[in-house]
Amino acid sequence: MVQDPRPKAIDLFAGPGGLSLGLSLTGFNVVGAVEWDPQAGQTYTHNIGDHVHIGDITELPPKEMERRLKRSKKIRSNKEITLISGGPPCPGFSLIGRSKIANLIKTGNWEGSDHRHSFIDDPRNQLFQEFVRYVEHFKPKYFIMENVMGMISFKDKDEKPIISVIKEEFEARGYSVDARSLLASDYGVPQARKRVIFLGTRGKKQRIKYPQKISATVSAREAIRDLPAIDPLTGLCVSNRLKPLRWKGYSGSFLRWVRKTPNFSAKITKNATCSIHKTRAVNPRDQAIFPLIRSGEDGDRVLYRDVYPDRLADVENLLPDGYSLSKKSGKYWVEGPPWGGRNDARWGWYDPSKFGDKMRRIRGDRPAPTIVAHLAKDGYMFIHPDQERTISAREAARFQSFPDSFDFSAGGQNPLSSQFRQIGNAVPPLLAIALGSEVLKAMKINPEITLEEIF
């Protein structure tokens, strides 16, 4: 059996495979991956390969991963693993996670040993230790670890910055470690997504450099300008055919990238068509609200709190035929005939003091805001720049820089809500290409693709 000469990598907490995809495109052979979410695992298998273990990483210790890789003849020795990558979930570092913890403390239901919620107290953050165990076992030359920006300002129970705690964990195992926040839009991703990236090198030689920013900036509108329109009443595209690829400059380069790049299951969209370009149908209440929401691109920005309750007259004028505004028990409702399978067709309003920015329109002239997993529940923070609807799964994937060949439905296995969640949790492939290229350069290997070649 001829051995694959490409350096070998393992991707932990792999999600649908954004990091694996970018690393593979640059020239890595990702021989193993682990993902807990079965639907994300299905997406990974469908698009990248069957080398992903779908299950709890705590039930797949690194020694067992080594045995599996040897049985499948992916490696002969654990020394062959050059890179370990991944983003261990640390929900406590996100603003959402921290607000939930604060509420638990306030109500007396927090079981942590410290009111400041130390790194060790939250069992979810112990998944980071699984990443450390894999690094300790395989002793790769390099590792890449990605995490949320909230980590930067976080401290443990001894008031020590978590960034320092994490670096010391790896330094104690012989690694030189750097940590830096990167903005995805600096690397061709049409999204203002910030993440903390840890780069580790065993020893002190040939340390990985952080990728240089490129001059390409792709706006939200430029990233999706060739996609067909969607009927807001159904959430389905009127056609699956893309507009002819006639744009030049950075946006044209980006569109060529997403339209012409195959996935690693040798699948590519044909005849300039797109998949998973669907979203939720817009209910009658929102049909009247969305036209009033403004991004600020042309004039003042208008959010949900600017519409309710001060502009109910405007909402009433925009309601579709058969629907009306009513007030019952001190609350306003939109009511009308059955809609979308609902016989009790009425919709209430969110409290503007708590959900003032519940509905936001994306500015078309800038990179999109951070795509988040909350899209699985609703897309109100991601109203299309120009159409009266929330963004589709394909548009969210475009904002994350995934090729159109990448099918988050896994051939129709995954529902729309799962697709949105996967996309929000993923690492942008173009950012992964930027990072993977730097690892290969540290190894004196020419990457198979770089951002400079794409743009």
Q: Catalytic residues, which ones?
A: 90
Decide if 195 contacts 146 (C-beta within 8 A).
yes
Q: How far apart are CA 237 and CA 228, in angstroms?
A: 6
Residue 116's nearest CA partner among 137, 96, 93 is 93
- C-alpha dist (Å) from residue 360 to 37, 50, 155, 236, 292: 29, 39, 32, 21, 10
Q: How far apart are CA 181 and CA 148, in angstroms?
A: 9
Q: State the Rg of the chain over Cα.
A: 23
Residue 214's nearest CA partner among 186, 234, 189 is 186
Report residue 285 as tokens. Answer: 């209440």
Residue 406's nearest CA partner among 274, 290, 249 is 274
Q: How far apart are CA 86 and CA 84, in angstroms?
A: 7
Give the chain's count of helices (H) and strands (E): 15, 14
- Strand-pairing partners, residue 355, are none
Report residue 316 as tokens. Answer: 């009433």
Decide if 392 contacts 18 (C-beta within 8 A).
no
Backbone angles phi, psi at 28, to 5 degrees: -90, 150
Place of tokens 């929900």: 91
Strand stretches in 115-204, DSSP E: 142-148, 175-183, 194-202
Q: 3-class SS at 225?
A: coil
Residue 446, CB-side half-sphere exposure with 13 Å CA sphere: 2
Cis, bond preceding 309 (omega within 30 deg of 0): yes
Q: DSSP for 279-318? A: -PPPPHHHHHHGGG-EESSSSSEE-HHHHTTTTHHHHHHH
- Strand-pairing partners, residue 170, are none
